[in-house]
C-alpha cells in the first residue's frame, strides 16, 4: 500500500452494475504539443494517408476477431476512416504548416468538440468513438501502440475508447471509472454485455496510479483505499442480489381495472442486447433475423445463427424468446437467393420464399433446434397465407431434428407460431390448428387490407386510415384464437404507438411486442386505460 492513503468516496452514475476491486490504471492523455514537428507538407500528407490505411487494416482485423456487437461498433469507425473528408480536414492544417500528427489531432479534436456539444445524449456519446479513431491513427503515425493495462486493474480516465475495451482482457475482472463518459456510449454497452462494473460522470478526481480502488457500480460509488469491511459489504450485497432473478416488473403492466398486459421487446439486431435491460420486458416477442443477411457469409453460417439465438436466450433468462425466420423476398434478397426484380409486396416473400428455397430455411431450422437447449424458444413464420405452409415448415423442422439426433445432438421441438399479416389468414385463424401461437404483423396487414403499399407516399394517407379496419380484423382473430386457447399478440408498429393502444386493447389484445425505445410511452398509455380501451379518466 503506497503510504497511508486517505479513504475517499466519489459519486458518479452507474453505467454497468457490479463490484470491482483493483489497482488504478490512470489513462494517458495525449498532449498535442508534445507531437513531433512536421516534415514537408507532401511527406506529411503521405504519412497521414499511410497511417489511416494502417488504422483501417487494424480495425478490419479486429472486426474479424469480434462478436457481432463489437463488429458493429468498429464498422462505424472504419466507415469514418474511409471517408476522405476526415483526412482532408487534417490536410488543410498540414498545408498551413502543422506536422502530420499535430494536424490530425487538432482537426479531430475540433470535430470531436462539435459532437460533444450535440443536444442529444446518444450523439454526444459517439465522441468517444471519434477519440478512438483519433488515437488509433495517431498511434500509427508515432509508432506508439495503444495503451493496454494490467488485467484485473481499474481503468480511470476521462473516457475509454471502445477499441481499448475490446483489446483488453477482462476475464481477470477489473472495472472502469470515467470522469466524463456516458451511459449511452458504446463502451458502456460493451461493459454491460460483458458484465464489467463501470461508473461514469464522476468529475475529475485525484488518484495515484496503482492506488487501490473499489468500484461499487450499482451505487455509483468509487472508494479510494477502501477498508476491507467496506469491500466485503459491497460484495455481499452483490452476492445477495445475484441469485434472485430481478423481478420482471417491466414485463407486465396492469390496466386501470387490473388486467395484466404483457410487454415484450422487438429486437432487430443482437447489438441491442447490450443496451436494453431484460428485466423491463417479458422476453422477446419478435426477434428479426434479417440482419444476418447483411453478410452472405453470416447468412449461410449455421454457427453464427446458433450463437445469436443463444445470445438472445441468455439475454432473456427464463422469459420466452420468439425468433422470426428470415423474412426476405421482393425488395430484399441475397444475391445468390435468386433475387427477382419484383418490388411487389405480394410475390415470393416470407415463408413462400423459405419454402421455395428451403436450403436456407433448413440451416436456420437446425440452428434454432440446437438453441432450444438454452431457454424458451418460439419460432415465428413470416407471411403465412394457408395452413399448408405451416405444415410444410413443421415438416422441415421435424426432418432437421432427425438429422441432428443422428448426429447425437439433443434438441426439442420449439413452439412454431405464425405472423398474421395476410388478410386471408387473419380471417381463418381457426384453420391453423398447428400454429402454437399467433402474432399480428400490422404493418403488412395494413397495406394488404387497404391495398396501399406502405412504401408509396402517394397513398400514405390510405395506409394510415386503415387502422379501424385492422382493429376490426384483429378483434375477429383474437376471438378465434381465444376459442382455440392459443396465445395471440401483436408485433407491428401500431403496438408501439400510444394513439393506437386504446383500439388494440378494445380488440382484445393482451400481449404487445414493442420497440424498446417506446416502452415507457406504451406503459404509461396502458396504465391510464381500462382493458376495454376507454380512458380511466372518462370512466370516473
305 is catalytic: no
Determine the Cα–Cα distance for residues 221 and 226; give it in Å rounded to an integer. Answer: 11
Query: What DSSP state is assigned to residue 260?
Result: E
User: Which of 168, 186, 305, 500 is labelled catalytic?
Assistant: 186
Subset of 25-44 contacting other proteins (CB under 8 A): none
Shortest separation between residue 495's beta carbon and other proteins, angstroms:
8
Residue 286's DSSP bridge partners are 266
Regarding 515 and contact with other proteins (CB under 8 A), the answer is yes
Q: Given candidates 273, 281, 291, 512, which one binds other proteins under the rule CB under 8 A?
A: 291
Determine the Cα–Cα distance for residues 212 and 224; give it in Å rounded to an integer. Answer: 6
Subset of 82-121 contacting other proteins (CB under 8 A): 83-86, 89, 111, 114-115, 117-120
Where do the DSSP E strands lie in 113-259? 154-157, 175-178, 198-200, 212-216, 221-224, 252-254
Q: Given candidates 18, 41, 72, 274, which one binds other proteins under the rule CB under 8 A?
A: 72
Regarding 126 and contact with other proteins (CB under 8 A), the answer is yes
Provide the CA 423 distance to its chain's centre, in angstroms: 32
Determine the Cα–Cα distance for residues 144 and 137; give it in Å rounded to an integer. Answer: 10
CA distances from 174 to 27, 186, 246 (A): 14, 18, 24
Regarding 8 and contact with other proteins (CB under 8 A), the answer is no
Beta carbon nearer to other proteins, 432 or 448: 448
Residue 19's DSSP bridge partners are 216
Regarding 524 and contact with other proteins (CB under 8 A), the answer is no
Number of residues that bind other proteins (CB under 8 A): 59
Residue 175's DSSP bridge partners are 154
Stretches 96-104, 142-150, 288-296, 384-392: which one binds other proteins (CB under 8 A)?
Answer: 288-296
C-alpha cell read off for 102? 499535430
User: Which of 25, 168, 305, 491 is labelled catalytic?
Assistant: 491
Beta carbon nearer to other proteins, 219 or 493: 493
| Residue 19 exposure: Cα atoms within 13 Å on the Cβ side | 18
Annotate each residue in 403-442 with x if it binds other proteins (CB under 8 A) or - if it does not, as one string.
Answer: ----------------x-x-----------------xxxx
Regarding 67 and contact with other proteins (CB under 8 A), the answer is no
Provide the CA 424 distance to its chain's centre, in angstroms: 34
How are beta strands 511-514 and 260-267 bridged, if at all?
A: parallel
| Residue 93 exposure: Cα atoms within 13 Å on the Cβ side | 20
Determine the Cα–Cα distance for residues 391 and 374; give it in Å rounded to an integer. Answer: 25
Query: What do you get for the CA distance between the two ends of the chain, in Å?
Result: 66
Regarding 444 and contact with other proteins (CB under 8 A), the answer is yes
Regarding 520 and contact with other proteins (CB under 8 A), the answer is no
Single out the residue of 286, 352, 347 nearest to residue 512, CA to CA.
Answer: 286
Stretches 134-142, 164-172, 268-276, 409-417: which one binds other proteins (CB under 8 A)?
Answer: 268-276
Shortest separation between residue 296's beta carbon and other proteins, angstroms:
12
Shortest separation between residue 126's beta carbon and other proteins, angstroms:
5
Q: Which residue has the cell 475529475?
A: 204
Give the burial string for 291-325 (b: 16+ CB within 10 Å, else e): bbbeeeeebbeeebbbebbbbbbebbeebbbbbbb
Query: Contact, 335 vs 312, CB < 8 A?
Result: no
Q: Given candidates 80, 138, 425, 507, which one binds other proteins under the rule CB under 8 A?
A: 80
Shortest separation between residue 328's beta carbon and other proteins, angstroms:
8
Q: Given candidates 109, 180, 219, 290, which one binds other proteins under the rule CB under 8 A?
A: 290
Annotate each residue in 135-154 with x if it binds other proteins (CB under 8 A) or - if it does not, as one string.
Answer: --------------------
Shortest separation between residue 419's beta carbon and other proteins, angstroms:
7
Active site amino acids: 186, 491
Where on the chain is the footprint of other proteins (CB under 8 A)?
A: 72-73, 75-76, 79-80, 83-86, 89, 111, 114-115, 117-120, 122-123, 125-126, 129-130, 186, 266, 268-269, 271, 286, 288, 290-291, 293-294, 327, 330-332, 345, 349, 419, 421, 439-444, 455, 457, 490-493, 513, 515, 517-518
Amino acid at each position: 500500500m503506497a503510504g497511508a492513503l486517505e479513504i475517499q468516496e466519489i459519486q458518479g452514475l452507474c453505467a454497468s452494475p457490479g463490484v470491482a476491486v483493483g489497482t488504478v490504471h490512470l489513462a494517458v492523455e495525449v498532449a498535442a504539443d508534445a507531437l513531433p514537428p512536421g516534415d514537408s507538407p507532401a511527406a506529411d500528407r503521405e504519412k497521414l494517408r499511410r497511417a489511416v490505411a494502417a488504422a483501417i487494416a487494424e480495425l478490419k482485423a479486429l472486426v474479424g476477431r469480434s462478436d457481432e456487437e463489437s463488429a458493429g461498433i468498429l464498422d462505424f469507425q472504419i466507415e469514418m476512416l474511409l471517408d476522405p473528408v476526415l483526412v482532408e480536414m487534417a490536410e488543410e492544417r498540414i498545408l498551413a504548416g502543422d506536422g502530420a500528427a499535430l494536424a490530425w489531432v487538432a482537426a479531430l479534436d475540433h470535430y470531436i468538440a462539435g459532437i460533444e456539444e450535440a443536444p442529444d445524449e446518444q450523439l454526444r456519446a459517439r465522441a468517444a468513438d471519434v477519440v478512438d479513431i483519433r488515437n488509433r491513427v495517431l498511434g500509427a503515425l508515432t509508432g506508439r501502440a495503444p495503451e493496454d493495462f494490467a488485467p484485473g486493474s481499474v481503468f480511470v480516465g476521462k473516457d475509454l475508447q471502445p477499441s481499448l475495451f475490446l483489446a483488453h482482457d477482462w476475464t481477470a475482472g477489473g472495472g472502469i471509472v470515467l470522469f466524463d463518459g456516458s451511459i449511452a456510449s458504446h463502451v458502456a454497452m460493451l461493459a454491460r454485455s460483458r458484465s464489467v462494473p463501470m461508473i461514469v460522470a464522476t468529475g475529475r478526481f485525484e488518484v495515484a496510479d496503482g492506488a487501490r480502488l473499489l468500484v461499487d457500480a450499482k451505487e455509483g460509488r468509487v472508494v479510494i483505499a477502501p477498508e476491507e469491511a467496506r469491500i466485503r459489504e459491497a460484495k455481499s450485497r452483490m452476492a445477495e442480489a445475484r441469485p434472485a432473478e430481478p423481478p420482471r416488473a417491466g414485463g407486465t403492466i396492469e390496466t386501470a381495472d387490473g388486467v395484466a398486459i404483457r410487454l415484450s421487446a422487438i429486437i432487430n439486431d443482437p447489438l441491442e442486447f447490450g443496451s436494453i435491460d431484460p428485466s423491463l420486458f417479458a422476453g422477446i416477442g419478435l426477434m428479426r433475423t434479417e440482419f444476418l443477411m447483411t453478410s452472405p457469409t453470416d447468412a449461410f453460417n449455421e454457427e453464427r445463427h446458433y450463437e445469436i439465438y443463444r445470445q438472445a436466450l441468455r439475454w432473456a433468462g427464463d422469459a420466452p424468446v420468439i425468433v422470426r425466420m428470415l423474412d426476405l423476398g421482393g425488395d430484399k434478397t441475397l444475391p445468390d437467393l435468386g433475387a427477382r426484380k419484383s418490388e411487389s409486396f405480394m410475390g415470393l416473400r416470407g415463408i413462400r420464399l423459405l419454402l421455395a428455397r428451403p436450403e436456407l430455411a433448413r440451416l436456420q431450422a437446425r440452428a434454432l433446434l440446437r438453441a432450444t437447449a438454452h431457454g424458451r424458444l418460439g419460432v415465428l413464420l413470416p407471411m403465412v397465407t394457408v395452413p399448408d405452409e405451416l405444415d410444410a415448415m413443421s415438416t422441415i423442422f421435424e426432418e432437421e431434428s432427425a438429422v441432428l439426433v443422428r448426429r447425437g445432438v439433443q434438441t426439442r421441438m420449439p413452439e412454431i407460431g405464425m405472423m398474421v399479416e395476410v388478410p386471408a389468414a387473419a380471417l381463418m385463424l381457426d384453420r391453423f390448428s398447428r400454429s402454437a401461437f399467433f402474432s399480428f404483423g400490422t404493418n403488412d396487414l395494413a397495406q394488404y387490407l387497404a391495398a396501399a403499399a406502405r412504401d408509396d407516399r402517394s397513398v400514405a394517407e390510405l395506409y394510415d386510415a386503415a387502422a379501424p379496419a385492422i382493429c376490426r380484423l384483429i378483434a375477429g382473430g383474437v376471438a378465434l384464437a381465444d376459442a382455440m386457447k392459443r396465445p395471440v399478440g401483436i408485433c407491428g408498429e401500431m403496438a408501439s404507438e400510444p394513439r393506437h393502444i386504446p383500439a388494440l386493447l378494445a380488440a382484445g389484445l393482451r400481449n404487445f411486442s414493442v420497440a424498446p425505445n417506446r416502452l415507457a410511452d406504451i406503459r404509461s398509455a396502458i396504465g391510464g386505460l381500462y382493458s376495454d380501451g376507454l380512458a380511466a379518466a372518462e370512466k370516473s
